[in-house]
């Protein structure tokens, strides 16, 4: 039997979504809790030959990879995983593969957060339940400027919705061209112009050495006091300490956050008590369609590997 571990199945749905029974001689165990302690993680994972990681919920640094002698295949849901030490995995001869995912769910959530934050939806929902009526006022989107930090596949989807709301859309990233901006009716601006002109700054960049800490004290200081920051990309792109200060001191109007430097978010994290924020638990990619695609592809990856066929590469 091939022992297969499915990690961080928070909602307890993995085994009901993927066709795991189609894997020849596969013995699949799904884990619903998250383990940070590496010693405990090694004790759990040591028997398994195949591990399916849900995105970057559980990192695989060299120190962990070298302590899993039975591991032959590591699958990440999604096309890339910045938390895998690819060099260590290659040295050990461990195969690594990825999956597809929902192409739209993160952009959809981005707009849910934008609307929820600007129109104070969590507060007004609570108000109605507790007997209050119309205590907030939100802006009309058509009067605002949307600043897209990154205009890749997700950024373009978000920008198109902004245009549908008749917003002025501006964009910047290090290699962005006006030609790409023209595809969605956006204006190419400098980084400084984006932060100073946008009423909504929304982040759609891949986490890399170039983007880590890209949004810090300097960038936040450029923003209007009425502007908000939205991050559905990766937590480390934003300096959390700087953002907490900017929101707490009301130097910006608020923040909508789906991603964090440490996940799950620690119980004592300042975000939990920070006003003028809308927090979601990294659910940009979490949708029924997305899970169906990712777990379905993971099953196919495992079957292909066991049959000696090519698997989907990780970017």
Domain residue ranges in the chain:
2-102+287-306, 105-279
The region of weakest confidence among 38-52, 62-76, 299-313 is 299-313
> How much is the average pLDDT of 241-254?
98
Single out the catalytic residue among 234, 240, 300, 312: 234
**pLDDT band at 311, cuts 50/70/90?**
confident
The whole-angstrom distance between residue 203's C-alpha and the CA centroid of its chain comes to 11
Question: Residue 78's CB: how many other CB atoms inside 10 A?
Answer: 20
Mean pLDDT (the chain, rounded): 97
Integer Cα distance of 225 and 269 in angstroms = 24
Integer Cα distance of 85 and 115 in angstroms = 37
Q: Does 120 participate in catalysis according to the annotation?
A: no
pLDDT digits (tens, 9 = 90+) for 264-309: 999 999 999 999 999 999 999 999 999 999 999 999 999 999 999 9
Q: Does 27 participate in catalysis according to the annotation?
A: no
Question: Taking a C-beta distance cutoff of 8 angstroms, is the pair 274, 248 a contact?
Answer: yes
Tell which CATH classification among 1.10.1040.50, 3.30.390.30, 2.40.128.30, 3.40.50.720 matches the domain 2-102+287-306: 3.40.50.720
Single out the catalytic residue among 55, 204, 282, 312: 282
Integer Cα distance of 31 and 44 in angstroms = 10
CATH topology of domain 105-279: Rossmann fold (3.40.50)
Q: Does 300 participate in catalysis according to the annotation?
A: no
pTM for the predicted model, two decimal places? 0.94
Single out the catalytic residue among 44, 160, 263, 276: 263
pLDDT digits (tens, 9 = 90+) for 183-231: 999 999 999 999 999 999 999 999 999 999 999 999 999 999 999 999 9
């Amino acid at each position: 039997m091939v022992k297969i571990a499915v990690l961080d199945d928070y909602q307890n749905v993995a085994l009901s979504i993927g066709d795991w029974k189609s894997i020849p001689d596969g013995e699949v165990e799904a884990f619903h809790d998250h383990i940070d302690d590496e010693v405990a993680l090694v004790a759990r994972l040591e028997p398994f030959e195949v591990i399916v990681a849900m995105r970057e919920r559980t990192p695989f640094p060299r120190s962990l990879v070298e302590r899993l002698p039975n591991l032959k295949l590591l699958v990440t849901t999604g096309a890339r995983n910045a938390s895998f030490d690819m060099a260590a995995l290659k040295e050990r001869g461990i195969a690594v593969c990825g999956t597809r995912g929902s192409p739209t769910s993160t952009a959809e959530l981005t707009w849910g957060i934008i609307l929820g934050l600007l129109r104070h939806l969590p507060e007004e929902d609570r108000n109605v339940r507790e007997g209050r009526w119309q205590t907030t006022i939100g802006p009309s989107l058509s009067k605002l400027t949307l600043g897209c930090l990154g205009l890749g596949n997700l950024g373009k989807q978000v920008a198109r919705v902004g245009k549908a709301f008749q917003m002025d859309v501006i964009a910047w990233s290090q290699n962005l061209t006006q030609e790409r901006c023209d595809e969605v009716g956006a204006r190419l601006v400098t980084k400084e112009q984006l932060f100073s002109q946008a009423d909504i700054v929304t982040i759609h960049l891949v986490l890399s050495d170039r983007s880590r800490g890209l949004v810090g004290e300097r960038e936040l200081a450029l923003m209007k006091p009425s502007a908000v920051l939205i991050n559905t990309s990766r937590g480390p792109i934003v300096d959390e300490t700087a953002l907490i200060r900017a929101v707490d001191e009301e130097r910006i109007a608020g923040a909508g956050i789906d991603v964090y430097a440490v996940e799950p978010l620690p119980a004592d994290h300042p975000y939990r008590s920070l006003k003028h924020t809308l927090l979601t638990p990294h659910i940009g990619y979490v949708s029924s369609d997305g899970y169906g695609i990712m777990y379905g592809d993971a099953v196919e990856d495992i079957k292909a590997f066991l049959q000696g066929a090519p698997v989907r590469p990780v970017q």
